[in-house]
Chains A and B, each alone.
Chain A
């Protein structure tokens, strides 16, 4: 059974690049254009194996999204990777405190993204 990934990014091209990488690796992909859209798409308790989210987005940013997801029992331990152009230490710290599992700086290398996902997925 394929694993499900939620991809959250306000850039359509970025979403497509991540979706292309993950679907080629056998994932089923759900796309959301910002945190608010993501929350609405998982409101029904959709099973998620991994979340890959951007940081700076309209409506709801990545940090707020992580906090929202961590409040829900279903996503308390779901691996969440931040995928962003931001690389400042203080932002990473903020992400870690919100409950992010890891941080990847864009532009992402597809092989590195898949390797990182494999590391954080529960065995």
Chain B
């Protein structure tokens, strides 16, 4: 909507009406522009998060295939220790479902926020209820639970971002375990 044109179209009306309509239209345009800027930034981030789900799924499937081959091998070619290690790796790879589920849930939350923002704007920016609804909309970053999501988000907001950032998950004991026992 172009405020300037709308104002001119209304030139046939009384100056009093025009002076009260103009600020409302300007506020409306500003609110929509603000939403537009946020949506333009948000959409590539959500696309990147979804692309990482595809990568994660593919990586897990390939890993599972590799370990299934080992587990299906005869005992002459694979030792019990190798079989046990493969089983552990299968358990790790299978957890992709929990990780991708959470990532997609967070994308869903962000889409829900965008929808609620549009619905509030449609009520009109002067509407106090709409203003309150917009004010309480949370930023998508607040829903993240994984470092991988936060890193991907930071990378995706960079202007030179092109491809999904590969997501590496730490599986070493030192990286993944924190014990609180004995801490002062």
Contacts and interface: CB of A to CB of B under 8 A. Distances in A.
Q: Do A and B come from one complex?
A: yes
Contacts, number: 89
B140 interface: no
B130 interface: no
A75 to B, nearest CB: 16
Contact of A110 (B91, B97, B101): B91
- Residue among A14, A86, A107 with the highest chain B CB neighbour number at 10 A: A107
A106 B99 contact: yes
Nearest to A56: B145
A92 B179 CA distance: 10
Contacts of B176: 104-105, 108-109, 112
Contacts of A104: 176-178
Interface in B69-126: 87-88, 91-99, 101-102
A96 B184 CA distance: 11
Interface size class of A (residues with CB under 8 A): 20 to 34
A102 B98 contact: no
A103 B98 contact: no
Interface residues of B, number: 28
A28 interface: no
Contacts of A86: 145-146
Interface string A67-94: 0000000000000000011111000100
B146 A87 contact: yes
A117 B176 CA distance: 14
A106 B100 CA distance: 12
Interface of A: 11, 13-14, 17, 20-21, 55-56, 84-88, 92, 95-96, 100-112, 115-116, 119-120
20 contacts: A11-B97, A55-B145, A56-B102, A56-B145, A85-B99, A85-B102, A85-B145, A86-B145, A92-B178, A101-B179, A103-B178, A103-B179, A103-B180, A104-B178, A107-B92, A107-B96, A109-B92, A109-B173, A110-B91, A112-B171
